[in-house]
A and B are shown apart, each in its own frame.
Chain A
């Protein structure tokens, strides 16, 4: 139960940071060649988006993989795809609030009795099942892995509204502690302001 590993990884990464609007963006390049990007809200200090670019041996340039936050639509991709899920299929998004980790699965019209959400301490993830066999998903929780915490069934609560299943997981204390420690680490990263802000300042004068 310690986040020392993660903190050293963050500390050793090459970091750049900038502020754009009300968001602070941080880009990490890890010694193994992987890249990570994070967006923090300037108001709450909560991470809004986190994405990974994992180095690949073959098959060209890696793509950004979103770990949490709203996905960014790429219009260029819409025409030239190999295979993709149809737009009316369930989509999973994840977000983090001060106290909880939340997953929203949109386009799930079935009533709440259909779903069962269980914690698997062995693989440290949670599983969503439907009794009508329409949806199934293993959701990993990388945050818990990073601070060495085990998943706990008691922390899960679910809610269904407007075709959306909302799964809420209450953050354990150690995770909150880790987030604070990471933020403290990030304070020391030099931050550039965005061009927009500079322009706005100039216009004001």
Chain B
């Protein structure tokens, strides 16, 4: 990667917060889908990445509906990382819905409804339609927040073309869009009047000399001509779910903003499927099937699995990727035990990609990438120590230590993290193994340990979890819902 490229990536990531997988930019495969050792934020796991590359290819071709892929492997072996990488590799155009299996358990919606919404969110439709848009250069933008901090924001924007100038009042929803797109005076923008979608076309040439310090990726465009409001044929990329919501009369398209969509009737879905097929035959629309990723899939219960069995047979089904870290375990909602906690008939319908534990060398590479991502300079010895810690405890614990050790080193005004900092943090923050050891030793000092018979049971379950004793399911330590 050249320096310029690196700078650009930095520019983008700096604005966003650093997440567990924000360092991943792709699958890191070469032209013939062979996995490179370290590339695009991915390390090791060559077999799994190569397999994922083939799946990406399958999705891109878009011909096959309702295939199911299971990513199975031990905790922190990069299952979610591979899923994130696949999403990145597919690009913005392909819908990629990422959900955790526990999301479907809601009081407002039935489980199957949540699942079918998720599936329909993963099918994109590109539709050509004539809509009314406003296109112009921003002369002035003013967004007033009420002094109390709550209540409605008031927004005004002045737009111009080469021929005219108009003031617009902004509704509450669109103010959010303006802030998200970081629109400022001198930008050339379009507003879709019906959906309220704002997009930035670039900066006006007349403003080219205003600032010297514009990023390399700033695009300069001409100020539009003629009228501000015009009818234009635009290509919408909407998901089937969005069409469902728009056409369910009770809500209208405003429901899309509030997120409160409720249940959608099957008749509406059937109608829309028919309509979309019709459009496709007429050449008005193009179907753009995507990917539904269900993390922690063992949290789905029996009903969901059998629903999925059926739903995947529909020709409007997306490619479904699931991830689980369970071995032979009970299927939720039954007393049957099954591999990965999933019924055999569903397992039979999928192809399974296995992730394997990282080697010490790979762990070191991952930690290096994470250090870079967190802007943390770590010397070699410290990295070696950290790698050791990662191998003895867990990769996640070691990654947590990067952040904390970085803060500790900054406290003593050092430019780089040394072994001392890592050691200090290792002493300050105990990992899951040490924590459960302490618990076992000091069992009697803790609350609610009077009953002798419970002890043995507790000990068992403590082994599998961190400090949290009340939690019912044995979760992996330091897990924040995603692998």
Contact = CB atoms under 8 A, between A and B. Distances in A.
Interface in B142-180: 156, 160-171, 173-174
A15 interface: no
B174 to A, nearest CB: 5
A58 B196 CA distance: 15
B63 to A, nearest CB: 25
A137 B279 CA distance: 34
Given A81-B169, A82-B173, A82-B174, A57 B284 contact: yes
B104 to A, nearest CB: 27
B169 A58 contact: no
Contacts of A114: none
Contacts of B129: 56-59
B167 A86 contact: yes
A86 B140 CA distance: 14
The residue among A59, A129, A130, A137 with the most chain B CB atoms within 10 A of its own CB is A59
A57 B243 CA distance: 11
Interface string A118-143: 00000000000110011111100000
The residue among B166, B191, B236 with the most chain A CB atoms within 10 A of its own CB is B166
B161 A136 contact: yes
A89 interface: yes
Interface string B230-261: 00000010100001001101001110000000
B352 interface: no
Given A57-B127, A86-B156, A133 B236 contact: no
A43 interface: no
B171 A136 contact: no
A85 interface: yes
B168 A136 contact: no
Contacts of B263: none
Interface in B67-122: none
A60 B170 CA distance: 22
Contacts of A81: 169, 171
B193 interface: yes
Q: How large is the interface on A (under 10, 10 to 19, 20 to 34, 35 or more residues)?
A: 20 to 34
Contact of B246 (A59, A130, A137): A59
B194 interface: yes
Contacts of A84: 168-169, 171
A105 to B, nearest CB: 12
Given A82-B193, A83-B134, A83-B196, A58 B164 contact: no
A88 interface: yes
B195 interface: yes
Contact of A80 (B127, B167, B171, B195): B171
Contact of A83 (B163, B168, B238): B168
B167 A88 contact: yes
Contacts of B34: none
A136 B249 CA distance: 37
B246 A89 contact: no
The residue among A57, A80, A133, A134 with the most chain B CB atoms within 10 A of its own CB is A57
B167 A59 contact: no
Interface residues of B, number: 37
A58 B194 CA distance: 11
Nearest to B152: A79
Interface in A42-94: 56-61, 80-86, 88-89
A138 B243 CA distance: 33
A57 B279 contact: yes
Contacts of A82: 171, 173-174, 193-196
Contact of B163 (A80, A85, A129): A129
B226 interface: yes
A81 B257 CA distance: 13
Contacts of B161: 136
B165 A134 contact: yes
Given A58-B129, A60-B246, A136-B161, A85 B167 contact: yes
Contact of B254 (A56, A80, A133, A138): A80
Nearest to A84: B169
B227 interface: yes
A85 B236 contact: no
Nearest to B158: A86
B245 to A, nearest CB: 9
Nearest to A54: B130
Given A59-B195, A83-B134, A133 B165 contact: yes
A167 to B, nearest CB: 16
Given A58-B243, A83-B134, A83-B196, A136 B156 contact: no
Contact of A136 (B164, B167, B193, B236): B164
Contacts of A60: 246-247, 252-253
Contacts of A133: 160, 162-165
A105 B216 CA distance: 44
B174 A83 contact: yes
Nearest to B197: A82
A83 B111 CA distance: 37
B226 A138 contact: yes
Contacts of B227: 136-138
Contacts of B194: 59, 82
B193 A83 contact: yes
Contacts of B162: 133
Contacts of B195: 59, 82
Contacts of B134: 83
Contacts of A88: 167
A205 B286 CA distance: 65
5 contacts: A82-B171, A83-B134, A83-B169, A88-B167, A137-B227
Interface of A: 56-61, 80-86, 88-89, 129-130, 133-138
Nearest 8 A/B pairs, CB to CB: A136-B163, A82-B196, A136-B164, A86-B167, A81-B171, A60-B246, A82-B171, A86-B169
Given A84-B168, A85-B169, A136-B163, 17 more contacts: A56-B129, A59-B194, A59-B246, A80-B254, A82-B193, A83-B134, A85-B168, A86-B169, A88-B167, A89-B167, A129-B163, A130-B164, A133-B162, A133-B164, A135-B164, A137-B227, A138-B226
Interface of B: 127, 129, 131, 134, 156, 160-171, 173-174, 191, 193-196, 226-227, 236, 238, 243, 246-247, 249, 252-254, 279, 284
